[in-house]
Chain A
Amino acid sequence: MHVVPLTPVDLGLAALLVVALALLSLRMRLNLAGQIVTAAVRTTVQLLLVGLVLKTLFAHVSLPWISLMALVMLLAAGREVMGRQTRRFAGWWGFGVGTVSMLVSSFAVTLLALTVIINIQPWYAPRYAVPLLGMVLGNTMTGMAVGLDRLTQAAWSQRAAIEGRLILGEQAATAIAAIRRESIRSGLIPIINAMSAAGIVSLPGMMTGQILGGSPPLEAVKYQILIMFLIAAGTGFGTITAVWLGGRRLFDERHRLRLDRLRPAR
């Protein structure tokens, strides 16, 4: 089986749908037309660029280049997590909490999958490494952003209750425990829902892509299950790490709630 190649004209036809949406939103005064067009242009340019990068990477399998690509993806994801916070940590922490947590969760999970589960040679074969890392990173990023946002927002709005507990002699970890749990939960719910709905409500993108690409459906499904598990683990461990780190950063060594370590709400 072969993929039907898409011509620029085919993509242009699909783009007309987006243009129609932009025109409709203009007419309905949704104030979104500009954003729709910009996002559509960005998606085209970014994906074309990454296609070129992947083409080059696939042609020259080299660990340093793949590591560079992974680093760029990590930094971009870290920046994205930071950007999605209403009250993010000030200074390097704003970028660091998410980036470090993704490094320990997404990278560890992807490495494990490449070396132990899929066990390809070499383990950094870009055809597997880049898409796997991309999917795990992308989903971990979302869960982590939700969890961290919830943590800092709740610490801000429930300041009196947290300090009320500190005043009575509770440790910082106890005083923030309930908020921490809620933040982790909110970060994990989306991936739990995605796993529950997979196959019934939604056909996950990777599986669909593989099937379109001509893979036998059962092989595609097995890969999708693997990916789902990796994403769940990456998101879970990543969110737990980020919320734990963030929860510690909210207090100093004298167990004082340090909301001055958060930037003002945007």
Chain B
Amino acid sequence: MIPAAAERALPPAFAMGGSGARLKVKGLCFLALGPFHFDVERGECLGITGASGTGKTLLLRALADLDPHTGEVFLDGVEAGALPASQWRRRVGLLPAESAWWSDTVGPHFNQIAPRRLSRLGFGTEVLQWEVARLSSGERQRLAFLRLLEGQPAVLLLDEPTANLDAENTRRLETLVRRYREQQGAAVVWVTHDLPQLERVSTRCCRLQNGRLESL
């Protein structure tokens, strides 16, 4: 459980002088989709919806430079190709719909996590010894989000982050993202099928259709 007070006050570790940046996409094409042109300002949340198979996940993957693509993506004017791929990905934090885990226990997936950061998300330090296989989907998603924030991303790319979560865990994650966005000035791209959620979390909404983004 996340204490209510913790949800109001963002963990100090997250509030390090605003690591956010402005995301600019220019002529981005991948497979047969695009070209995409859009900006997401610091502290803004662009919500993207669209039918299954329209390429929402592929769009996020291209932004994170996980798939070959053409066109340019900038963070505060710096093009992706100007940075080593690893550094770029650390700055544009992608949270996949299904989080991936490669060690048996939670601990090895984190570099050095301060106990207080865990406790702000409702976990004790004993969570590091927990087996990944025994985590609930809500716990997994919250831990995956915490793991992503370790790299202090300037942008958050969220791919149906609450698809497998119950109402309570959904609300928690929405709150965490909003705090990070507001306090760090992070640009957020939030992909979901859930229109009421988009209204809650986003500052601007688009629909991905026929390989293009259309404003809602």
Say whether A and B bind each other: yes
- Flag A246-258 by CB within 8 Å of B: 1 or 0 each: 0000001011111
Are B65 and A161 closer than 8 Å at their CB atoms? Answer: no
For the complex, count residues of B whose C-beta is within 8 A of A. Answer: 23
Within 8 A of A (CB), among B74-99: 81, 85-87, 89-90, 93-94, 96, 98-99
Q: With A166-B66, A168-B147 in contact, is A161–B87 under 8 Å at CB?
A: no
Are A169 and B87 closer than 8 Å at their CB atoms? Answer: yes
Are A252 and B66 closer than 8 Å at their CB atoms? Answer: no
Nearest to A256 among chain B residues (CB) is B66
Within 8 A of A (CB), among B96-117: 96, 98-102
Which residues of B pack against A, CB within 8 Å? 64-68, 81, 85-87, 89-90, 93-94, 96, 98-102, 147-148, 150-151
Q: With A164-B100, A164-B102 in contact, is A254–B90 under 8 Å at CB?
A: no
Are B85 and A170 closer than 8 Å at their CB atoms? Answer: no
Choice from A158, A161, A163, A171 contacting B66 with Cβ under 8 Å: A163
Are A164 and B99 closer than 8 Å at their CB atoms? Answer: yes
Are B66 and A168 closer than 8 Å at their CB atoms? Answer: no
Q: With A168-B90, A168-B151, A255-B86 in contact, is A160–B68 under 8 Å at CB?
A: no
Nearest to A164 among chain B residues (CB) is B100
Nearest to A260 among chain B residues (CB) is B68
- Most chain B C-beta atoms within 10 Å of own C-beta, residue among A158, A178, A252, A254: A254
Nearest to B157 among chain A residues (CB) is A167
* Cα–Cα distance between A243 and B100 once the two chains are bound (Å): 24
Q: With A256-B65, A256-B68 in contact, is A168–B89 under 8 Å at CB?
A: yes
Nearest to B86 among chain A residues (CB) is A169
Which residues of A pack against B, CB within 8 Å? 158, 160-161, 163-171, 178, 252, 254-258
Number of inter-chain CB pairs below 8 Å:
55
Distance in Å from the Cβ of B41 to the closest Cβ of chain A?
23
Known: A164-B96, A167-B66. 17 other contacts (CB 8 A): A160-B98, A164-B99, A164-B100, A164-B101, A166-B66, A166-B85, A167-B148, A168-B89, A168-B148, A168-B150, A169-B87, A169-B90, A169-B151, A170-B86, A254-B65, A257-B66, A258-B68
* Cα–Cα distance between A210 and B49 once the two chains are bound (Å): 74
Choice from B85, B93, B99, B150 contacting A254 with Cβ under 8 Å: B85
- Residues of chain A within 8 A (CB-CB) of B93 are 167
Choice from A167, A170, A178, A254 contacting B96 with Cβ under 8 Å: A167
Are A167 and B102 closer than 8 Å at their CB atoms? Answer: no
Distance in Å from the Cβ of A21 to the closest Cβ of chain B?
46
Q: With A161-B101, A169-B151 in contact, is A256–B96 under 8 Å at CB?
A: no
* Cα–Cα distance between A170 and B108 once the two chains are bound (Å): 14
Name 12 interchain pairs, CB-CB below 8 A, sorted by A.
A158-B102, A160-B96, A164-B102, A166-B89, A167-B64, A167-B93, A167-B148, A168-B90, A168-B147, A169-B90, A169-B151, A254-B81
Nearest to B110 among chain A residues (CB) is A168
* Cα–Cα distance between A171 and B150 once the two chains are bound (Å): 17
* Cα–Cα distance between A167 and B98 once the two chains are bound (Å): 13
Choice from A158, A163, A164, A256 contacting B85 with Cβ under 8 Å: A256
* Cα–Cα distance between A169 and B111 once the two chains are bound (Å): 12
Distance in Å from the Cβ of B188 to the closest Cβ of chain A?
16
Are B100 and A163 closer than 8 Å at their CB atoms? Answer: yes
Distance in Å from the Cβ of A161 to the closest Cβ of chain B?
4
